[in-house]
């Protein structure tokens, strides 16, 4: 018996052909999956590099803040925000209102004009959003702009998606953190602000951040 005696099995041949097509299909899917995985790894590394400078900056300022007793009031909210997974840059920009050094250090990194705020007053007054000194109003406006910039300038796709998820489900942690920062800032200027007013401004800031983030073109990997 030799090759001349070979009679191909039609069903077997069809199976081999179909198997070959299936292998090719799997191979293409594997290639596509590999490309996506490689792109994801690349994106993750890029995002990690972006986050590192703020991680180090936050760690550096945390040391300074922890040893300074005047900041004790905010530590609880600050640690909750960090534990919840908010990014270092976002956390730092919110904190920057009560520490000009923090504000200017980050502004310097982003080539923005430095803050020069030397306002002071002796008498105690109540906060009035419709009648506030221009210098204080400008400082708060710069702060809000900075918070928004922290999530849209040189943004990380992975971290941006995470912030959106956090802000949309957060009902207290970030609002408490922002409102307490604002309360502390005004307190040192002898200006009283009610909890309701502070939370209202915090709510406004969160909504503005979300609106700005959602305008970004977040890459899908």
What are the tens digits of pLDDT across the range 184-203?
Answer: 999 999 999 999 999 999 99
In a domain, 220, yes or no: no
Query: Residue 146 falls within a domain, yes or no?
Result: yes
The reply to whether 144 falls in a domain is yes
Classify residue 17: in a domain, yes or no.
no
Q: How many domains, the chain?
A: 1
- Decide if 26 is inside a domain: no
pLDDT single digits (tens) 134-192:
999 999 999 999 899 888 887 777 888 888 999 999 889 999 999 999 999 999 999 99
**Is residue 141 assigned to a domain?**
yes
Domain membership flag for residue 92? yes
30 pLDDT band, cuts 50/70/90, is very low
Where is pLDDT greater, at 41 or 122? Answer: 122
Can you give the residue range of the structural domain that contains 98? 32-213
Domain annotation covers residue 12: no
Q: What is the CA radius of gyration of the chain?
A: 27
pTM of the model: 0.74
Q: How many CB atoms lie within 10 A of CB 217?
A: 6
**Per-position b or e across 153-181, b if 16+ CB within 10 A of its CB:** eebbbbbbeebbebbeebeeebbbbbbbb
CA atoms of 117 and 24, how far apart (whole Å): 66
């Amino acid at each position: 018996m030799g090759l001349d005696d070979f009679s191909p099995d039609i069903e077997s041949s069809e199976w081999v052909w179909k198997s070959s097509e299936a292998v090719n299909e799997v191979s293409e899917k594997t290639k596509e999956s590999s490309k996506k995985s490689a792109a994801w790894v690349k994106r993750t590394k890029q995002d990690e590099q972006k986050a590192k400078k703020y991680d180090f900056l936050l760690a550096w300022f945390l040391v300074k803040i922890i040893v300074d007793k005047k900041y004790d009031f905010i530590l609880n909210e600050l640690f909750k925000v960090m534990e919840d997974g908010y990014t270092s840059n976002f956390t730092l920009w919110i904190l920057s209102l009560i520490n000009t050094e923090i504000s200017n250090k980050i502004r310097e990194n982003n080539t923005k004009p430095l803050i020069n705020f030397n306002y002071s007053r002796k008498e105690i007054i109540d906060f009035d959003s419709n009648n506030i000194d221009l210098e204080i109003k400008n400082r708060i406006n710069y702060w809000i702009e900075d918070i928004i910039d922290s999530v849209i300038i040189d943004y990380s796709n992975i971290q941006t998606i995470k912030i959106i998820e956090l802000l949309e489900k957060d009902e207290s942690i970030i609002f408490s953190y922002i409102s307490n920062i604002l309360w502390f800032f005004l307190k040192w200027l002898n200006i009283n602000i009610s909890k309701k007013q502070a939370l209202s401004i915090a709510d406004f800031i969160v909504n503005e951040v979300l609106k700005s983030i959602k305008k970004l073109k977040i890459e899908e990997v």
